[in-house]
Amino acid sequence: MTNRRIKRYTLLLAASLGLSTNVQAETLRLLTWGGYAPQDVIEQFEEETGIEVEVTKSNNEDMISKLRATRGAGFDLAQPSQDRVTSAQADFDIYKPIDLSRLDQSLFIPSMLEATRKNTTLDGKVYGVPHVWGTSGLIVNRKSVSDIRDYTDLCGEGLDGQVSYRLKRPTLIGFAFAMGEDPFAAYANTGQYEALLSRVEERLIACKAKVKTYWSGGDELLNLMRSGEVKAAMAWDAGGWKLNNENADITFVAPASGALGWIDTFVLPRKTKAEEAAYRWINFVMRPDIAARITESAGNFTASKGSDEFVNDKLKAQFRESFPPADIDNIKWYPPVPPGLEEMEGKVLDRIKAAKS
């Protein structure tokens, strides 16, 4: 009999005998993304701890909306992306600081833990730690083009009409890094960032002849690579590995200037009622063997150190080929975007789209 059934049986028995039912199962109310809390992981956690888990699936906007409406109540642990933490905290005061001493920090990939600590710190307090992550970089057909190592290589000789990327902000950011710029460092200075975008805009307009099409949906990009119409693209890691399962010549490549990374975090809602359970869940799911099962469920890796040892052999080989340790440490993690920058980027993207090749 599982711990959950035992506790429920105890409560029912006590009620039938007219006894006090103060003995209640502790419950962790988790606000998370689909795939981040698979049922088999939940069941093992409940067996090991006696803590029940209630999952509400959500997304960034919905998480913030729910916690804002309740002033940080209703949930015990939430998982917004790291670039959505400090702004929401500054505006709505919906989180409480993380006590890093209550976590087994040896379970985390150090560079990811440090990046998230830095990007979720507000007024000297840390509000988030990393969980699931992914990147955008390059998907390359190595049989057709073997010398593409960075974003700007998509504009190389002999590639007319054979590359693809989105007209979205990751393309601006990726090209900036490949051009030797640091766009994230320029965030603090609007004039500096505007001048940087002007240089990137010029480069992307000059590159238009190389572009088969600006992809807008994942299936579109995958089909362009499958058909051979596109030989190289800027896209996400899991897409590259999916194509690699079908064609060994195609795979994801971490750019020399650094893949662009997102991280979904763990944060504590300000009015959590099960704080100890929240810390126990974090330490549990960051165990490499457990984290690998979340990777299999969600399709993305976690910040758990050594969890790639436990995923299936094919995915393990793909991950290690695409991300040697130096390339993991070189990932450029998205920080919070200051107000006004996205509007500026939008105008640049519109001009690139309208320009003649």
Domains identified in the chain, total number = 2
Q: 124-135: b or e for each residue (b if 16 or more CB lie within 10 Å)?
A: eebbbbbbbbbb
Q: Identify the sign of the CA torsion 221, 226, 228, 232.
A: positive
Do 121 and 39 sit in the same domain of this protein?
yes
Do 74 and 179 sit in the same domain of this protein?
no
What is the predicted pLDDT for the residue at 77?
98
The answer to whether 188 touches 338, Cβ cutoff 8 Å, is: yes
Q: Where are the beta strands (DSSP E) in 33-169?
A: 52-57, 77-78, 95-96, 121-122, 125-126, 129-141, 163-164
**pLDDT by residue, tens only, the chain of 357 residues:** 454 554 544 444 443 444 433 334 599 999 999 999 999 999 999 999 999 999 999 999 999 999 999 999 999 999 999 999 999 999 999 999 999 999 999 999 999 999 999 999 999 999 999 999 999 999 999 999 989 999 999 999 999 999 999 999 999 999 999 999 999 999 999 999 999 999 999 999 999 999 999 999 999 999 999 999 999 999 999 999 999 999 999 999 999 999 999 999 999 999 999 999 999 999 999 999 999 999 999 989 999 999 999 999 999 999 999 999 999 999 999 999 898 999 999 999 999 999 987
Do 100 and 52 sit in the same domain of this protein?
yes
Three-point CA angle 305, 242, 306, nearest 5°: 10
Whole-structure pTM value: 0.86
DSSP secondary structure string for all residues of 224-277: HHHHTS-SEEEEEHHHHHHHHHH-TTEEEE--TT--EEEEEEEBEETT-S-HHH
Do 266 and 256 sit in the same domain of this protein?
no
Place of tokens 């700007």: 152
What is the predicted pLDDT for the residue at 17?
45
145 to 33, 232, 233, 249: CA distances (angstroms): 36, 8, 11, 10
Q: SS3 for 10?
A: helix
- Domain of 219 in residue numbering reads as 134-260+336-354
What is the predicted pLDDT for the residue at 5?
52
Do 248 and 284 sit in the same domain of this protein?
no
